[in-house]
């Protein structure tokens, strides 16, 4: 799947805020080696570099477009093109951080203990994922996908990988000295026309849009956009409310 750093960063504040809130719960004072998994255009990595200017901070990312954006961001980190699903570093890290990425990877039951294995004793694995897959934005994406002539092409384009908080406690408890898990629901106040459509166009809608072409693609997107407008109506003041739930996990070894 391809990404577009420019479209993604159109909502830079809303997308980066959870990274800051996650980072505020990481207590390591002077980590030497820090990784940002799925660093995107470097926005989350920038927070890590600002917090620990003396650390060796590495952004790891599977998208060529995103890592080009990260390199152009001016954030002083090392950048590595790699797929986290197969990532197997030769040295451990004091902090592994990941904001809004691990929802794209499956098999969390095996992935997360494996990533925990790359953490030094006393180090921290901290990650945040959206847990909004039952929100109208995602339900409608799937409903429209299942109800048109495109249904066969869209059937398996996106797996839902994110579990309940207790699922993560059960997976990680035996690998951690302490585990801090919480959820936040942000009431995002959006401006302009079709803001929810513009938001998902940069992320969750991409596997659906990229599986179709030409008129069929336009028809799918236009029906989805119409249904989104009903689900997220513009208010009298012109703003649109887009509630967004996220899960945060800070696992200390």
Ligand X SMILES: C[S@@+](CC[C@H](N)C(=O)[O-])C[C@H]1O[C@@H](n2cnc3c(N)ncnc32)[C@H](O)[C@@H]1O
Binders in 145-204 for ligand X, by CB under 6 A: 203
Which is nearer to ligand X, 150 or 211 (by Cβ)? 211
CA distance linking residue 26 with residue 180, whole number of Å: 10
Q: Is 19 in the site for ligand X (CB under 6 A)?
A: yes
Q: Is 100 in the site for ligand X (CB under 6 A)?
A: yes
Which is nearer to ligand X, 103 or 176 (by Cβ)? 103
Q: Which two tokens stand for residue 233?
A: 């109506």
Q: Is 104 in the site for ligand X (CB under 6 A)?
A: yes
**Number of residues binding to ligand X, judged by CB under 6 A:** 22
Which is nearer to ligand X, 148 or 207 (by Cβ)? 207
Q: Is 99 in the site for ligand X (CB under 6 A)?
A: yes
- Helix 214-231 to helix 136-146 angle (10° resolution) is 140
Instruction: With residue 78 as reference, give the H or E element that holds it.
Output: strand 78-81
Q: Is 132 in the site for ligand X (CB under 6 A)?
A: no
Q: Please report how close the Cβ of residue 69 comes to ligand X at its closest, in angstroms.
A: 9
Q: Which DSSP symbol is given to 31?
A: -
Which is nearer to ligand X, 43 or 150 (by Cβ)? 43
Q: Is 73 in the site for ligand X (CB under 6 A)?
A: no
Binders in 197-236 for ligand X, by CB under 6 A: 203
Choosing from 66, 126, 144, 209, the residue that interacts with ligand X (CB under 6 A) is 66
CB within 8 A of 253, min separation 6: which ones?
A: 116, 119, 120, 121, 122, 123, 124, 125, 175, 176, 177
Query: Are 19 and 99 contacting, i.e. CB atoms less than 8 angstroms apart?
Result: yes
Which is nearer to ligand X, 23 or 150 (by Cβ)? 23
Instruction: With residue 214 as reference, give the H or E element that holds it.
Output: helix 214-231
Which is nearer to ligand X, 93 or 104 (by Cβ)? 104
Helices (H), 11-107: 12-23, 43-51, 64-72
Binding mask 24-63 for ligand X (x = CB under 6 A): --------------xxx--xx----------------xxx
Q: Please report how close the Cβ of residue 58 comes to ligand X at its closest, in angstroms.
A: 12
Q: Is 3 in the site for ligand X (CB under 6 A)?
A: yes
| Contacting positions for ligand X (CB under 6 A) | 3, 15-16, 19, 38-40, 43-44, 61-63, 66, 83-85, 99-101, 104-105, 203
């Amino acid at each position: 799947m391809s990404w577009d750093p420019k479209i993604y960063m159109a909502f830079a504040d809303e997308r980066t805020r959870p990274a800051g809130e996650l980072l505020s719960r990481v207590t390591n004072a002077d980590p030497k080696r820090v990784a940002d998994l799925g660093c995107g255009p470097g926005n989350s990595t920038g927070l890590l570099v600002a917090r620990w200017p003396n650390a060796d901070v590495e952004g790891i990312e599977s998208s060529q477009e995103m890592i080009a954006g990260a390199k152009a961001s001016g954030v002083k980190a090392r950048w590595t093109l790699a797929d986290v699903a197969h990532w197997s570093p030769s040295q451990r890290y004091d902090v592994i951080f990941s904001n809004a990425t691990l929802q794209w990877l499956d098999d969390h039951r095996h992935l997360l203990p494996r990533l925990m294995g790359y953490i030094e004793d006393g180090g921290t694995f901290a990650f945040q994922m959206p847990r909004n897959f039952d929100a109208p934005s995602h339900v409608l994406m799937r409903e429209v996908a299942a109800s048109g002539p495109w249904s066969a092409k869209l059937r398996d384009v996106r797996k839902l990988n994110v579990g309940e908080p207790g699922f993560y406690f059960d997976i990680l408890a035996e690998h951690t000295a302490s585990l801090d898990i919480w959820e936040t629901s942000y009431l995002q106040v959006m401006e302009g026309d079709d803001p929810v459509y513009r938001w998902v166009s940069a992320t969750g809608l991409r596997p659906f849009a990229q599986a179709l072409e030409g008129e069929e693609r336009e028809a799918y997107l236009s029906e989805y956009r119409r249904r989104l407008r009903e689900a997220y109506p513009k208010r009298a003041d012109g703003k649109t409310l887009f509630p967004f739930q996220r899960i945060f996990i800070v696992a200390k070894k």
